[in-house]
Structure 1
Amino acid sequence: MVAACLLHTGIRLAAVWDIQQSSCRGRCCRRGPANGGNGIVTLSGRTRAVAFVCSLRDKGLSKKPLWRTKEDMSSEAKQASSSLRLAKGEEAVARVMVTSVSRLLKPDLLALLAHLQRTDCCDLAIKVFDYARKEIWYRPEASFYFDMIYMLGRNRLIEKAEYYFLQLQEEGLQPETRIYTEMLAAYMLVDKVDKAMDMYRMMKEAGCRPNELTFTILVRNLQRLGEVAAIKEVENDAVENLEEGEEFLRNVKTRRKNPTLN
């Protein structure tokens, strides 16, 4: 029944039998009736396990990793990255953008952008990001902005993060919970409590439900800064929104001995 179900969903099963010819010579291989397709093969009274390999590659359903390492980048993307890093001054960078970056195909351009974001090359990432937004294939996506805001926030470039947060909305996108969370985390990183709480309340008004990461960032930093009134508001929301809110808060406060922002 399991095999029939897998075949019905279009998943190919490859059975790999590691059976030496010497051990199989003169013996017959049969599937025990009691096994019923459970991956066990009977060999003259002995059993061996059968390894099944499930592959979705033929159906185009497998996804590539979110981050591509430098080794995963094409030679053209690597060359563009090196040229951008070596360029000195705005004119040199603009020249590389025209001669190298503009020639990249969509996957290579996105790989280059992800590499620059991951390595905190903020100025270069901004230029490539803005260039990508002008490409004919570009379609607004919240996740595209999330990676940018995350990089800018952790590097304390608050004004740039705010700019792209507004750009996201101007393109008709609704910020997700994780984008709101990264914005308030960026504010907390530079001790802008009022802006962080405004972003938190804006998040709730927009119908985005805070998650554990949201509450962790808020509780730990509000405790660090001694914001008693704000802590009470956030803790009440945590109890209301999380299944085990009270236990979660106890754990967060216990781990406060090792302070962290995220």
Structure 2
Amino acid sequence: MASLLSLPQLTPAPVAKPAGRSARPLPGRITCGPRDNRGPLQRGRSLSTEAIHAVQSLKRLTSADRSPAAAIAAASTSLGRLLKSDLVAAMAELQRQGHWSLALAALHVARAEPWYRPDPVLYATFVSSSPDSEDGAGAVDALVEAFLEEKEKGGGFVAGEEDVYKLTRLVRALVAKGRGRAAWSVYEAAVRRGGCEADEYMYRVMARGMKRLGLDAESAEVEADFREWEARLSLPSRARDVLDEMRAREKSSTTTV
């Protein structure tokens, strides 16, 4: 399994303080606000008290050292006892705050849990929230490699059991980030070799995405796969038409006799 320790160290850009605003509250006024640059809660988000405390603890433990090894050790301490829903929420919150490296450390903790399964949607969120930098691009490629290794060790892409919508979200996120080769790796492993039954939307996303990113040969292969898929879909209807025609001829022949 690919190790997340090999991913580049990514740190959020420092947040500039607004000019002209005093750093200290006015005497006699009680003020409160987000701690550690945490933004206000958004509608539709549910973060338990345990998850909030765990995220704050993780950021506090890594304030002096944000190296991958230190982040993973701190994440194991801070997040190791969280329930599945809280750990997933903590990962999402760290991504929202721009602490992508810490979210990766949380993912490392999640991968060791018995409930963990390589979910394309989870990886799609990491791809979408990754920094737009050379290090971020390398980290995305490493994430895709880890995802494909996890799927292979877990039995691969099983035909009929894969959610093509989730896979499409992942390849869409990769195309949007300009990671055409990584998107092609997912498509090849899932659809061309893994037997995952894609749909028209998946083929169109891949064909257009590959062409936009300059991968014309790959785009042509996707279009060929799409034409073959359309031909397979039309076979049952053609067979029914032939059968109906044979029955009509048999009925006409019987009537004549």
Q: Report the TM-score when normalising by structure 2.
A: 0.51
2:7: which partner in 1?
none
Show the 5 A alignment for 1:59-138.
71-86=45-60, 87-88=62-63, 89-90=65-66, 93=71, 96-97=74-75, 100-117=78-95, 121-135=99-113, 138=114
Match of 1:209 among 184, 192, 197: 197
Q: CA separation in 1, counterparts of 2:182 and 2:111?
A: 28
1:80 to partner: Cα distance: 1.5
Tell me which protein shows more helix as a share of its residues: 2
Q: Gapped runs of 5+ residues in structure 2?
A: 1-41, 131-136, 234-257
Q: Which has the larger radius of gyration?
A: 1
Match of 2:187 among 172, 184, 200: 200
1:46: which partner in 2?
none
Aligned length: 173
Q: CA separation in 1, counterparts of 2:117 and 2:225?
A: 29
RMSD (CA atoms): 3.8
- Structure with the larger RCO, 1 or 2 (CA within 8 Å, 6+ apart): 2
1:129 to partner: Cα distance: 2.0
Tell me which protein shows more strand as a share of its residues: 1
1:162 to partner: Cα distance: 1.1
In structure 2, the CA distance between the partners of 1:228 and 1:141, relative to structure 1 (3 Å rule), is: closer
SS of the residue 2:223 aligns to: helix
In structure 2, the CA distance between the partners of 1:229 and 1:165, relative to structure 1 (3 Å rule), is: closer
Match of 2:225 among 237, 240, 244: 237
Q: CA separation in 1, counterparts of 2:181 and 2:122?
A: 23
2:152: which partner in 1?
169
1:127 to partner: Cα distance: 1.5
Q: CA separation in 1, counterparts of 2:218 and 2:76?
A: 49
Q: Report the TM-score when normalising by structure 1.
A: 0.50
1:85 to partner: Cα distance: 3.4
Q: Gapped runs of 5+ residues in structure 1?
A: 1-67, 246-262
1:117 to partner: Cα distance: 4.6
**Letter in structure 1 aligned against 2:195:** G
